[in-house]
Chains A and B, each alone.
Chain A
Amino acid sequence: GAGVSQSPSNKVTEKGKDVELRCDPISGHTALYWYRQSLGQGLEFLIYFQGNSAPDKSGLPSDRFSAERTGGSVSTLTIQRTQQEDSAVYLCASSVETGTSNQPQHFGDGTRLSIL
């Protein structure tokens, strides 16, 4: 079946521009995660959605970052007024639900964001 789909796969933009990154989770997966992976770093948790609500936004690095999820499915991560330090691979993952702990995440291929 289809996995987690992220678009675009690559994005190059100028500093100061806004960008939108899209994640289409596996059908039926209610939990959705966004991570950031910078060069030489591990996966940095950004935000988690259960359905359309985000109980924990504490991982978002600044108020330039926001995310939403509609219909319990597609999620968009928006970065406003991009800075060079925003350059990274942004990964999305989904899982069936987190009410029970034994459901692993399924990852997308990521969006490689480069800020010039």
Chain B
Amino acid sequence: AQSVSQHNHHVILSEAASLELGCNYSYGGTVNLFWYVQYPGQHLQLLLKYFSGDPLVKGIKGFEAEFIKSKFSFNLRKPSVQWSDTAEYFCAVKGGLRGTYKYIFGTGTRLKVLA
């Protein structure tokens, strides 16, 4: 079955610490991969996406993610977190074929950054 696993449900870091949030997916075939972020009191917004090409993708606010096909992973990283990165982060996968519409989301990771 198609699924997305986010292993860390809650992460607490101090400012300037490095961040890596895990995301593994189960999906046959070509995939498009996404990370969405939901800041407190705000709606979900796209952080970054992978469709093809360079497996290391850069998003907004200094975030990046690496697609490792052999590991079915798309981990999110940031070298130095800030208090303003406190949010919930969702990984999502979608089939890469034209006309594929269904997104599958992970259960999310709540990140708390201590000032």
Contacts and interface: CB of A to CB of B under 8 A. Distances in A.
Contacts of A43: 90, 92, 103, 105
A42 B90 contact: yes
Given A42-B107, A98-B100, A102-B51, A108 B34 contact: no
A45 B102 contact: yes
B96 A101 contact: yes
A20 interface: no
Interface stretch (B13-21, B39-47, B61-69, B70-78): B39-47
| B interface bracket (residues with beta carbon within 8 Å of A) | 20 to 34
For the residues of A in contact with B, the DSSP-based class is loop
| A interface bracket (residues with beta carbon within 8 Å of B) | 20 to 34
A100 interface: yes
A41 B4 CA distance: 12
A108 B43 contact: yes
Given A43-B103, A48-B102, A107-B43, 14 more contacts: A3-B43, A35-B105, A42-B106, A42-B107, A43-B90, A45-B103, A45-B104, A50-B101, A55-B101, A56-B102, A93-B44, A104-B46, A104-B49, A107-B45
Interface of A: 3-4, 31, 33, 35, 40-43, 45, 48, 50, 55-56, 91, 93, 98-102, 104-105, 107-110
16 contacts: A4-B43, A40-B107, A42-B6, A42-B106, A43-B105, A45-B104, A45-B105, A48-B101, A93-B44, A101-B51, A101-B100, A104-B34, A104-B49, A107-B44, A109-B42, A110-B43
